[in-house]
Amino acid sequence: MHSRDGKIWMDGKLIEWRDANIHVLTHSLHYGMAVFEGVRAYKTDKGPAIFRLPEHTRRLLNSAKIFQMKVPYDYDTLMEAQKEVIRVNNLDSGYIRPLVWVGSERLGIAAKDNTIHAMIAAWPWGAYLGEDGLNKGIRVKTSSFTRHHVNVSLVRAKASGYYINSILSNQEALANGYDEALVLDTDGFVSEGSGENVFIVRNGKLYTPDLASCLDGITRDSVIVMAEDMGLKVIEKRITRDEFYTCDEAFFTGTAAEITPIRELDNRVIGAGTRGPITEKLQSLFFDVVAGKTPKYADWLTYV
Query: What amino acid positions are annotated as catalytic residues?
Result: 158
Q: Which is nearer to ligand PPE, 114 or 171 (CB)?
A: 171
Let me know: does 120 contact 9? Beta carbons within 8 Å: yes
98 binds ligand PPE (CB under 6 A): no
Q: In this structure, are strands 197-202 and 190-193 parallel, antiparallel, or unpaired?
A: unpaired
* Residue of 8, 33, 61, 215 interacting with ligand PPE (CB under 6 A): 215
Q: Which is nearer to ligand PPE, 73 or 95 (CB)?
A: 95
219 binds ligand PPE (CB under 6 A): yes
* Measured distance CA(186)–CA(15) in Å, rounded: 43
283 binds ligand PPE (CB under 6 A): no
* Measured distance CA(67)–CA(154) in Å, rounded: 9
| Count of C-beta atoms within a 10 Å radius of residue 272 | 12
234 closest CA partner among 277, 193, 191, 201: 201
* Measured distance CA(117)–CA(256) in Å, rounded: 24
262 binds ligand PPE (CB under 6 A): no
Q: How many residues bind ligand PPE (CB under 6 A)?
A: 17
Residues 220-239 within binding reach of ligand PPE (CB under 6 A): 220
- Minimum distance between the CB of residue 135 and ligand PPE, rounded to whole angstroms? 19
- Minimum distance between the CB of residue 209 and ligand PPE, rounded to whole angstroms? 11
**Where does this chain touch ligand PPE (CB under 6 A) — which range of 12-20, 98-106, 195-203, 225-233?**
195-203
* Measured distance CA(251)–CA(217) in Å, rounded: 14
* Residue of 179, 180, 192, 249 interacting with ligand PPE (CB under 6 A): 192
Max Cα–Cα distance, the chain, nearest Å: 57
DSSP codes joined into one string, 46-92: TS-EEETHHHHHHHHHHHHHHTT---SS-HHHHHHHHHHHHHHTT-S
Residues 15-44 within binding reach of ligand PPE (CB under 6 A): 38
218 binds ligand PPE (CB under 6 A): yes
Give the DSSP letter of residue 159.
B
Tell me, what amino acid is at 152?
V
Let me know: does 89 contact 43? Beta carbons within 8 Å: no
Let me know: does 260 contact 138? Beta carbons within 8 Å: yes
Q: In this structure, are strands 7-10 and 39-42 parallel, antiparallel, or unpaired?
A: unpaired
255 binds ligand PPE (CB under 6 A): yes
217 binds ligand PPE (CB under 6 A): yes
**Where does this chain touch ligand PPE (CB under 6 A) — which range of 116-124, 199-207, 230-238, 248-256?**
248-256
| Count of C-beta atoms within a 10 Å radius of residue 285 | 21
Q: Which is nearer to ligand PPE, 25 or 154 (CB)?
A: 154
Residues 114-143 within binding reach of ligand PPE (CB under 6 A): none
Q: Which is nearer to ligand PPE, 182 or 256 (CB)?
A: 256
Q: Which is nearer to ligand PPE, 104 or 191 (CB)?
A: 191
285 binds ligand PPE (CB under 6 A): no
Using CB under 6 A, list all residues that contact ligand PPE: 38, 166, 192, 195-197, 214-215, 217-220, 253-257
